[in-house]
Amino acid sequence: MPIVAASPGVYFVRLLGDHLVSVNDSDAKRRNGCIKVNAANCKYGISVNLRARLTAYRRTFGVERVRFDVLVLDEQPARLERLLHAHFAPYRKLGQTGRLNEWLEGIDPNQAYAEAAAICRRTMIDGVELVPSNTVVVKAIKRSDAATVEPFLPEDICRAAEYLHRNGMTQELLSELHHFRRQTYKQTLDYFAGKSRIQGRNNPIYAARLDFVVKGHMRGIDFPDLVEQAKAAFPYPGADQSLS
């Protein structure tokens, strides 16, 4: 299950399965008056709460059918939405009321996703500039801006580790985030799976570092840059190397 921030931003939805489902299938009053979509369709969009939007799509289409990707976290996503509107104008599906939707047809969903992601990468977002050459210019993070460790649960660590593993972050970089300086994804998952809370003074910092890297990667920043920033923003206390 992907980690999705409860933050504003731009997202992209792809569906699995050929069965056509109303885009408002969870609303009995609106269900029959709306367009229907399946795996041939896809959608870009913006939301003030990406996590809530993911929940809504799962409620409509079913958890197993929804592939939800965060393109970027942005406090003012409308500017990116305008760019996406213009880019995908030939493919936007016409609704039953005559209004153009953000649901697309006539374009391969994976190709549409790649194009939407590229548009977001070329845009200045909160001090992070992703240029066409894929060179990432990262705004320096002040320790005072990021040093507060939020409360996390063991399941947050597991979800973060699964996300990082799935998206190709190496175990060498994972080890740099851990207080042992040597760590595999299996060790992290085996240790935290099934626990009810995070104990000790190092593990909450490990959780904060993982969360920081996940959220940064969702914004398009490279893993090596994020790991260095996470280490600076969330230092371990002293030289204590105990897992607990």
pLDDT, one tens digit per residue, over 216-238 is: 888 778 899 889 888 887 888 86
Residue 126 zone, left/alpha/beta (φ > 0; ψ -120 to 50; rest) = left
- Say how far apart CA 61 and CA 179 lie, in whole Å: 41
pLDDT value at position 145? 38
Q: Count CB atoms within 10 A of the CB of residue 240.
A: 11
pLDDT digit string, tens, across residues 19-75: 999 998 777 777 787 899 999 999 999 999 999 999 999 999 999 999 999 888 888
Does the structure show a pLDDT above 60 at 239?
A: no
Confidence at residue 231, expressed as pLDDT on a 0 to 100 scale:
86
Average pLDDT of the chain is 81
Give the C-alpha separation, 219 to 10, whole Å.
10
Strand ranges for the chain from DSSP E: 9-15, 21-22, 36-37, 42-47, 66-73, 92-94, 100-104, 124-125, 128-130, 136-138
**Residue given tokens 């894929």 in the structure block:** 134
Give the pLDDT score at 238.
Answer: 66
Query: Does the pTM exceed 0.75?
Result: no
Percent of the chain exceeding pLDDT 70 equals 84
Q: Name the more confident of 244 and 205.
A: 205
Better-predicted residue by pLDDT, 82 or 141:
82
- The tokens describing 219, both together, are 């914004």
Number of H helices, E strands in the chain: 9, 10
Return the higher-pLDDT residue of 138 and 100: 100
Residue-wise burial string across 70-83, b where 16 or more C-beta atoms lie within 10 A, e elsewhere: bbbbbeebeebbee
3-state secondary structure of 154: helix
How much is the pLDDT for 130?
35
More confident of the two residues 147 and 41: 41
Among residues 173, 34, 170, the alpha carbon closest in space to that of 95 is found at 34
**Residue 134, pLDDT score:** 28
Greater confidence (198 vs 127) lies with 198
pLDDT(151) > 90: no
Residues contacting residue 89 through CB under 8 Å, at least 6 positions apart: 100
pLDDT of residue 244: 32
Asked if residue 77 has pLDDT above 60, the reply is yes
Place of tokens 């998206």: 167
pLDDT digits (tens, 9 = 90+) for 101-135: 899 999 999 999 998 988 887 764 333 333 232 22
Give the strands of the sheet with 128-130, arranged side by side. 124-125, 128-130, 136-138
For the chain, what are the domain ranges? 9-126, 143-233
Does the pLDDT at position 146 exceed 60? no
pLDDT tier at 2, thresholds 50, 70, 90: low
Q: Is 125 helix (H, G, I), strand (E, B) or coil?
A: strand
- Write down the pLDDT at residue 135: 26
